[in-house]
Amino acid sequence: MELAWLEDFVALNETGNFSRAAELRHVTQPAFSRRIRALEDWVGTPLFERTPQGTRPTPAGEQFARGAPGLVRTITDLRRDAREIGGRETATLHFAATHSLSFTFFPGWLRRVEQAATIGPVRLVSDSMQACEELMLQGQSQFVLCHHHPIAPSRLESPAFASRDVGEDSLVPLVAPDADGQPRWRLDDAGGDLPLLAYSAESGLGRIVAANRFEQRAPTLRTVFSAQLAATLLGMARGGSGIAWLPASLAADDVERGSLVPAGGAGWAVPVGIRLFRPAARQSVAAERFWSHLPPV
């Protein structure tokens, strides 16, 4: 049995879709399917069944899913800790952070933590929320930094993980101004289509925006463009392509220069937290020391 098979199982169980799981695992779908079959041969019973609605675990698969994610994390942590003790690897802290926070929040926040304690080398992976969750679920990251809203929970909100709020932000509907400095489109306007610059499914910010159901308050919102990165939507909004709900931390310079203006009042903004996730199980000495020295929000 190979560790990659367990990681494949976790990805397929999470997504319920062979194509999406194979994409997450960076392999072709035929190769991914062969590895799932190899795991099922090793276990000795089918773990998944295909249905018109997608792929779902069999009863045996449900039982296997209770232990597989934790086992993947445990094996990865054991290897990392053993390499550190054996001198093959320094006590590096492994972070995964969503793109917007990697650029705007992470550097200054890390400097504040370093004022309280020496933390040693840091490795940061910047990716979508979905990819960051996968890294944590597979034991390849000790910490995940992301935006958080209670009505759009992360896949990491389970007893297997602990979390702490480390900052605050907000998602603000922004749009390019017209010649008079007024918003080109207003969310409170009753008539005419409102072009929406939306987040793709991989984005954690997209989950938060979708959960707030703004289209019910502004039924003329129409998606004209979608992308994974907030920075991409910011550029499209700046160019006059539509309205985008952007992190205030990311758009602050554009708002100050007047190249973006609010498309609605304060009631259209979404306060969000900035949250740090970690496995609930005890981690390396370096990771536990870092966690214990986190500054208050």
Give the model confidence (pLDDT) of 21-30 as tens digits. Answer: 898 888 899 9
Domain at 170-267: CATH code: 3.40.190.10
Domain 72-168+273-292 and domain 170-267, same fold? Reply is yes
- pLDDT tens figures, 145-189: 999 999 998 989 988 899 999 999 999 999 999 999 999 999 987
Interval 195-219: pLDDT, tens: 999 999 889 999 999 999 998 889 8
The model's pLDDT over 227-262, given as tens digits with 9 standing for 90+, comes to 999 999 999 999 999 999 999 999 999 999 999 999
The stretch 96-101 carries a mean pLDDT of 95
Q: CA–CA separation, 22 vs 60, rounded Å?
A: 22
| pLDDT value at 89 more than 60 | no
Indicate whether 85 pLDDT > 70. no
Which residue spans within the chain are E strands per DSSP? 48-51, 54-57, 93-98, 122-127, 143-148, 161-175, 194-199, 221-227, 244-247, 261-262, 270-279
- The fold of 3-66 is Arc Repressor Mutant, subunit A (1.10.10)
In this model, does residue 286 exceed pLDDT 80? yes
The rounded distance, in Å, linking the Cα atoms of 200 and 228 is: 5
pTM (global) more than 0.85: no
What average pLDDT does the segment 83-95 reach? 70
The CATH homologous superfamily of the domain defined by 72-168+273-292 = Periplasmic binding protein-like II (3.40.190.10)
- When pLDDT is averaged across residues 92-107 and rounded to a whole number, the result is 93
Every domain of the chain and the residues it spans: 3-66, 72-168+273-292, 170-267
